[in-house]
Copies of this chain bind each other. A is one copy, B any other.
Amino acid sequence: MDLKEAIARESVQIDREMGQDLAGLAIGDELLKEILEYGLFSGGKRIRPFLVVLGARLCGRSDEAVYRPAIAFEYLHAATLFHDDVIDHADTRRGRLSVIKRYGMVGAILAGDFLHAHAMALVGRYGGQAALDTFTAATRGMVEGEFLQLRAAGKWEVTADDYFAIVRRKTGVLIEAACVTGGIVAGAGAAQLAALQTYGGNLGTAFQIIDDLLDYQGQFTGKPIGNDLAEGKSTLPLIIALDRAPERERQSLLALLHDVSQRSERLDEIVAFIDRHAGFVEARRRAEQLIDSGLTALQVFSGPGDPDFRELFEDLGHYVLSRQR
Binding site for B on A (CB under 8 A): 25, 27-29, 31-32, 83, 86-87, 105-106, 109-114, 116-118, 120-121, 124-125, 129, 132-133, 135-137, 139-140, 143-144, 146-148, 150-151, 165
B32 and A147 contact, CB distance less than 8 A? yes
A136 and B117 contact, CB distance less than 8 A? yes
Count of chain copies: 2
Given A116-B117, A133-B125, A150-B31; A25-B140 close (CB under 8 Å) = yes
B32 and A143 contact, CB distance less than 8 A? yes
Judged by DSSP, the binding face of A is helix
* Sample of 7 more A-B contacts, CB < 8 Å, known A29-B151, A86-B109, A125-B129: A25-B140, A28-B148, A109-B109, A114-B140, A116-B117, A121-B132, A125-B133
Q: Which residues of chain B come closer than 8 Å to A106, judged between CB atoms?
A: 87, 146-147, 150
Docked Cα-Cα span, A125 to B137, in Å, equals 13
B136 and A120 contact, CB distance less than 8 A? yes
Q: How far is the CB of A90 from chain B (nearest CB, A)?
A: 13
A121 and B143 contact, CB distance less than 8 A? no
Q: Which residues of chain B come closer than 8 Å to A29, judged between CB atoms?
A: 144, 147-148, 151
Q: How far is the CB of A96 from chain B (nearest CB, A)?
A: 22
Q: Which residues of chain B come closer than 8 Å to A143, judged between CB atoms?
A: 32, 110-111, 113-114, 117
A-B contact pairs, 23 of them (CB 8 A): A29-B147, A29-B151, A31-B150, A32-B147, A83-B109, A83-B110, A86-B86, A106-B150, A111-B143, A112-B113, A113-B143, A114-B140, A114-B144, A116-B117, A116-B139, A117-B135, A117-B140, A117-B143, A118-B136, A124-B124, A124-B129, A125-B132, A125-B133
Q: Which residues of chain B come closer than 8 Å to A27, judged between CB atoms?
A: 144
Q: Per a CB cutoff under 8 Å, which of B83, B112, B120 touches A132?
A: B120
Q: Which residues of chain B come closer than 8 Å to A112, judged between CB atoms?
A: 113
Q: How far is the CB of A43 from chain B (nearest CB, A)?
A: 25
Q: Per a CB cutoff under 8 Å, which of B105, B117, B129, B136 touches A86?
A: B105
